[in-house]
Structure 1
Amino acid sequence: MDRAFPRRKEIRLKQYDYSQPGYYSVTICTHQRQKLFSSLVGAHLCVRPSSADSFLGLFLHELEQKYSGVLVDCYAVMPDHLHVILALTGAHTGAPLPEMIKWYKTQTTNAYIRLVKRGQVPPFQKHVWQRGYYDHVIRNDTDLAETRQYIANNPLNWTLNKD
């Protein structure tokens, strides 16, 4: 192993099947926490995405179409990250969560590049998204309610604490 590169910490649960039914909270951060989505902050709080949403919501909607049995429970766009709760239903027999997030990040990166070329969003440095993402397996109704509340409150908390 090359010692020039530090070993990345494994953040997924070992032996956990990320394609099994359940609720998953996912946070995806922009590369080096660039504030690329400032114009979208607070948009689409805990609502289901539609094809008329911002490009971030559009591809969440597409995620539901591409992968059967996947539903977006709620999401919130922040200046430098995105929170989303994904529900994998019993009908989901396809890709595990990491594959879905990889697809989402690829699609939104390509869309962001097109928007930069049209001058509709600020340019980014090096990458749009960080290499990884944070996930949390939601284990019960209390955990789900608390996670939804956290996502709903996050834009307001951001505004109050940005100093």
Structure 2
Amino acid sequence: MNIELGEFVIMPNHIHGIIIIGRNDFNKSIPNAETKNQFSVKSKNLASIIRGFKGAVTSYARKNSIEFEWQSRYYEHIIRSETEYLKIRQYIIDNPFKWNEDSLF
């Protein structure tokens, strides 16, 4: 799968990151015959990437006796322009400097 981790930051109670999914054999347009069941579990998509990441971090935390719990959901947003990308990237960069404003600080 052609993916790249862009800007990211790990905060004490949350993370922010940009996942760049490039065009590849897995995300090309799928012919209609293969899309009959639109409600089946899909692999090689953003949800599967997040699921794998959460699973790996959870496994590491358990093996190392680290108390850890994931938020059950995550927020996703498709970035559609260079301007939007730069704005979100800057938000991620600035996030640690705004930690004292967090409600759980």
Shorter-chain TM-score range: 0.7 to 0.9
The 3 A distance-change label for structure 1 pair 92 and 77 is: farther
So what's the TM-score if we normalise by structure 1?
0.50
How far the C-alpha of 1:130 sits from its partner, in A, is 1.4
**Are 1:146 and 2:87 matched, yes or no?**
yes
Identity of aligned residues (%): 29
**Aligned counterparts, 1:66-81, within 5 A:** 68-81=1-14
Deviations 1:133-160 (A, max 9, x none): 011110100100000000000000113x
Determine the structure 1 residue equivalent to 2:77.
136
Deviations 1:53-90 (A, max 9, x none): xxxxxxxxxxxxxxx20000111000111111010111
Deviations 1:78-135 (A, max 9, x none): 011111101011126161101110111011001011121xxxx4x24xxx21111011
Determine the structure 1 residue equivalent to 2:40.
none
Q: Give the structure, 1 or 2, with the largest relative contact order (CA under 8 Å, sep 6 or more).
A: 1
Query: In angstroms, what is the RMSD of aligned CA positions?
Result: 1.6
Which of these residues, 63, 87, 112, is aligned with residue 61 of structure 2?
112
Amino acid at match of 2:98: N
**Aligned counterparts, 1:6-21, within 5 A:** none
Amino acid at match of 2:76: D
So what's the TM-score if we normalise by structure 2?
0.75
Structure 1 gaps, min length 5? 1-67
**Are 1:101 and 2:50 matched, yes or no?**
yes
